[in-house]
Amino acid sequence: MRFQSNIVIGLLFAAVLFSCKTKNKPAEAAISTERKWWKEATVYQIYPRSFKDSDGDGVGDIKGIISKLDYIKSLGIDAVWLNPIYSSPQKDNGYDISDYENIHPQFGNMADFDVMLKGFHERGIKVMMDMVLNHCSDEHRWFQEAKKSRNSPYYNYFHWWPAEKGEPPYRWSIFDEKAYGWEFNKATNSYYLHYFADFQPDLNWENPALRQDIYKMMRMWCDKGVDGFRMDALAFISKDTTWPPLPKEYNGNWGLYYASGPQLHDYIQEMNREVLSKYDVATVAEAMGDVTRVKKFVDEDRKELNMAYHFEAIDFGYLPGEYKMPNPKGYDLVEWKKVYNKWDSAFTDKGWGTMYLANHDQPRMLTRWGNDAAEFREYSSKMLTTLILSMRATPYYYFGDEIGMSNIKFDKVEQYNDVELLTNYAQVKAKGGDLKRFLEGMKISSRDNGRTPMQWDTTINSGFSNGKPWLPVNGNYTTINAAVQEKDPNSVLNYFRKMIKLRKENEALIYGKFTLADAANPDVFAYSRELNGKKLLVLLNFKRIAAKTNTGINLSKAKVLISNYTTASLDGSLKPYEAVIYEL
């Protein structure tokens, strides 16, 4: 959906006028420049299962993270986001929580957590926890009680459809083989709702008792000293419990049908009053939907959250109507740039965005957005790093990308672990679809590609674990690993560090106005960043061939601040995957 009404445009205009009048704002007053640590931070995402295993069980753990605190500090990042480490049957790798207030034994215990938190804080690094609030595990105490009887005090912690009313109104489920969002429970003679897998029952936010329990739990983590939350699937927490039929043309458009529950923002505002406003915590929501919807989460006046990440750019280049099936024609860079431009404008006056090219739900950024062939791996990794760290949004950078890790590209379904992939495989199989084609596509897009263990060094299992890793290590670890790159001043790893430093030293890269340049160029992403008279120009060649850009800016006197080749051109011609930032 797009900006639809004159009212929205009118409001934006009024907001621009208002912010121009606000004191203490630089010349580009229409730009949101209120200083906040989470706007200036680079967030490094750690997938604990795959980061570092300390006890040889093949699964990364908290003590493993502790052993790498100095490495993490050396990157120059300011905050980490940890994927869920709470008690969980781990059927969706921790996004199925059975106890929000405890640590899963494979990861360690609460004492380990406290040591890790202290270790991060001593190094000036903030810690953001993953909060899965739309659903829990079916092994959570609440669900275990709820499913026993309709009279259980926990029955209404979940959404049920009484079987005496017949079949429930159809709901789509993302991790269900039959794509059916209701599961029958004999003891209560009713169906429970699950937007995700059947082992992930949706929590009933319409019930104030559930909400209070959630807030209490969140306060517990804040009191411990955590610095923020990444909120999983938050857009789905509110449901229309009159269960209106979904439109006939409904085809799994989550943003449109599920991310707009009637009381979504009332609940987030309540959470803000009850928890967030009482602490100095930063929040980022997984927020589906268009600009208008996502803006609601982060407009400061609404007192909800700080940041949101959208899916519009990350979902580019897939065939319509098929699950993450890469389009053989690739994607249109001109259209992709338009998306980033649009999302930048969305937050000019209010709110704040995020920038990411990968996370645990995505393949490796190098394979998906760059080029993992040997001759282009380093150039394209550095080019993508330049993009992530030069946008007007908080960068979320996924572990392993700092050394240019690539997709593992499994051949067989048996090699996969991910519930999402296995569900979709089963669906294609049930429909008699082309499984070979499906598996080929998944080599590019599946989530497990981004979940293989961190490649630390050339020792067995890349130094990740002494035991058998839960997911195989990518065989290229003997050449692509942190230890080797540590010694090379021009490595992908050291480029990441330089780029972080550059962002820190140039406020224009954080708060400066973003202006797309040479927008129609099909090969190059070019834009300027401007603050208090300082103007930087970023040129990124996204193609494996040389490209030419015409930004209309004379570069002959420009100073090169960073470049991924030994010499950077001053006439707008770019080598394959070349990235340059100039000061004008």
Pairing of strands 547-548, 524-531: unpaired
- Cα four-point dihedral sign 424, 430, 432, 436: positive
Question: Least distance (Å) from ligand GLC to the CB of residue 86?
Answer: 12
Distance (Å, rounded) from C-alpha 393 to C-alpha 40? 9
Q: b vs e for 229-244, b when ≥16 Cβ sit within 10 Å of the residue's Cβ?
A: bbbbbbbbbbbeeeee
Site size for ligand GLC (CB under 6 A):
9
Out of 86, 120, 161, 196, the only residue in the binding site for ligand GLC (CB under 6 A) is 196
Which of 286, 349, 378, 578 does the annotation list as catalytic? 286
22 CB neighbour count, 10 Å cutoff: 10
Establish if 360 lies at the interface with ligand GLC (CB under 6 A). Answer: yes
Min dist CB 232 to ligand GLC, Å, is 5
Q: CA-CA distance, 283 to 229, in Å (whole number)?
A: 5
* Active site (annotated) includes residue 411: no
The answer to the question of residue 486 lying near ligand GLC (CB under 6 A) is no
Q: Which amino acid is at 236?
A: F
Q: The tokens of 526 are what?
A: 């070019």
User: Between residue 518 and residue 557, which ones bind ligand GLC under the rule CB under 6 A?
Assistant: none
Residue closer to ligand GLC, measured from CB, 286 or 530: 286
Q: Which of 403, 421 has the CB closer to ligand GLC?
A: 421
Residue among 53, 61, 78, 92 that touches ligand GLC (CB under 6 A)? 92
The closest residue (CB) to ligand GLC is 95
Q: Does 352 bind ligand GLC (CB under 6 A)?
A: no
Tell me the C-alpha to C-alpha distance, in Å, between residue 40 and each of 118, 390, 581. 22, 12, 19
Per CB under 6 A, 324 contacts ligand GLC: no
**361 is an interface residue for ligand GLC by CB under 6 A:** yes
Q: How far is the CB of 471 from ligand GLC (least distance, A)?
A: 14
**Residue whose CB is less far from ligand GLC, 61 or 286:** 286
Say whether residue 95 binds ligand GLC (CB under 6 A).
yes
Q: Identity (one letter) of the amino acid at 332?
A: D
Residue 235 or 581: the one with the smaller Cβ distance to ligand GLC is: 235
**Contacts of ligand GLC in 110-139 (CB under 6 A):** 132
Q: Which of 227, 232, 349, 448 is catalytic?
A: 232
Q: How far apart are the first and last CA of the chain?
A: 37
To the nearest whole angstrom, how small is the minimum distance from the Cβ of residue 364 to ligand GLC?
Answer: 16
| 309 touches ligand GLC by CB under 6 A | no
Which residues, in sequence order, are CB contacts of 490 under 8 Å at separation 6+?
none
Rule CB under 6 A: is residue 49 a binding residue for ligand GLC?
Answer: no
Q: Is 165 helix (H, G, I), strand (E, B) or coil?
A: helix
Q: Which is nearer to ligand GLC, 139 or 486 (CB)?
A: 139
For 190-321, list the strands marked E by DSSP.
Answer: 190-193, 228-232, 282-286, 307-309
Q: What is the DSSP string of 285-330?
A: EE--S-HHHHHHHH-GGG-S-SEEE-STTTTTTBPTTSTT-B-TT-
Choice between 232 and 530, CB closer to ligand GLC: 232
- Nearest residue (CB) to ligand GLC, 138 versus 349: 138
Beta-carbon contacts of 123 under 8 Å, excluding residues fewer than 6 positions away, are: 69, 70, 72, 73
Site string for ligand GLC, 237-276 (x = CB under 6 A): ----------------------------------------
Would you report the helix, strand and coil content of the chain in percent, each value rounded to 5?
Answer: 35, 15, 50
CA distances from 466 to 93, 459, 461 (A): 21, 10, 7
Residue 232 catalytic?
yes
Count other Cβ atoms within 10 Å, centred on residue 66: 18
- 47 is an interface residue for ligand GLC by CB under 6 A: no
Residue 199 contacts ligand GLC per CB under 6 A: no
Binding site for ligand GLC (CB under 6 A): 92, 95, 132, 196, 232-233, 286, 360-361
Looking at the annotation, which residues are catalytic? 232, 286
